[in-house]
Amino acid sequence: MFAYFVRRLLGLLPVLFGVSLLIFTIPRVIGSDPARIMLGERASPESYQRLRTELGLDTPYFLNLKEARTRGIAGLFDAQYPTFVAHAVQGDLGKSIFSRIPVRDSLAHFFPATIELTLVAMFFAVVFGVPLGIVAALNRGTLVDTGFMFLALAGVSFPVFWLGIIMIYLFAVFLGWLPPSGRISPTLIFHSTTGFYLLDAIVQGRWGVLWNLLRHLVMPGIALGTIPLAIIVRMTRSSMLEVLGQDYIRTARAKGVERRAVINKHALRNALLPVITVIGLSFGQLLSGAILTETVFAWPGIGRFVYDAISSRDYPIIQGGVLFIAIMFVLVNMLVDLSYAFIDPRIQYT
């Protein structure tokens, strides 16, 4: 098992190499010029050229053949991509070209917010999705089933950002029930040690803060959780139906075991296996959905951070942030993959 894990991890290396190459190349294909962005509306040609040199934008992208002649191998790799990779491997993703904040620090700062939002969205999806799916399956073909299935279908058919806008105006502006955006009321004095606000609020026993945090999480959590919710409802239902149709369930029923007992003891446990798979896979989709959700709700997470950087063409953040997201994405998917081994004893890894 461990050997397999290591092998899978090593197998990621070529993928990460390709990812880094892509991340490095795309902004340069754009032809956008960080020096120009830094200088603003009016800038003299001299200060522009000087800044380009200072930012290292005048060195070649991949290999520096000119330097190689005089300095050999060290000179050959005195180019933008090798420098980027060499630094990245050491955990140095550079600094934002505007704020000079190290990208690594920003990622460490924004990541917990995204994780928190993602977990809340997933919690919402599971807590509502699984029971709804079960109820639908048990009432197959009835109005309840049709209704739930239509709701689930509707859930995957909304543009997430649209749902977000409607919710902000309905619940925050017109009804005034919830705060329109953000993660915590800025007037609250609250210091987070881990970056996970919910956890810190509980540890510190700050129940008022916790309530405030939860109120901020409701709308983005629902907006982000809607699609996984819909998928989980559908998956639970179909998986449940499949199990209910199995011989051993029929046998149990025939032997006179009570319906409720059959469902609880036999059907549920087996039906939930594929559901867990779906939950795992949805994490990746949530990371994707978080970009739009965080933008609409001004959620200080990694998706909005990277999207803002794409808009403002902050190269180091784009490179570092997208690389980080890609690594997380790949790792989560791999872990989900591996976790099947624990859940489903039929699968064996050698």
Enumerate residues 32-51 that contact another protein by CB under 8 A. Answer: 32-34, 36-47, 50-51
Pattern 327-346, another protein, x by CB under 8 A: --xx--x-------------
From 75-83, 99-107, 249-257, 336-344, give the range in contact with another protein by CB under 8 A: 99-107
The verdict on 184 binding another protein (CB under 8 A) reads yes
- Using alpha carbons, select from 306, 307, 319 the residue that is nearest to residue 84: 319
**Contacting another protein (CB under 8 A), which of 180, 253, 337, 338?**
180
CB of 176 to another protein, least distance (A): 5
**Contacting another protein (CB under 8 A), which of 189, 247, 345, 350?**
189
The verdict on 254 binding another protein (CB under 8 A) reads no
- DSSP assignment string, 164-222: HHHHIIIIIIIS--S-SSSSS-TTS----SSS-HHHHHHHTT-HHHHHHHHHHHHHHHH
Structure tokens at 325: 């997201």
From 83-91, 262-270, 280-288, 342-350, give the range in contact with another protein by CB under 8 A: 280-288
Q: Which residues contact 35 (CB under 8 A, 6 or more apart)?
A: 48, 51, 52, 55, 57
The verdict on 179 binding another protein (CB under 8 A) reads yes
CA 262 remoteness from chain centre: 37
- Using alpha carbons, select from 283, 297, 293, 296 the residue that is nearest to residue 325: 283
Query: Binders of another protein among 283-322, rule CB under 8 A?
Result: 284-285, 287-289, 291-292, 295, 298, 300-301, 303-308, 310-313, 318, 322
From 60-68, 186-194, 262-270, 341-349, give the range in contact with another protein by CB under 8 A: 186-194
Distance CA 178, CA 165 (A): 13
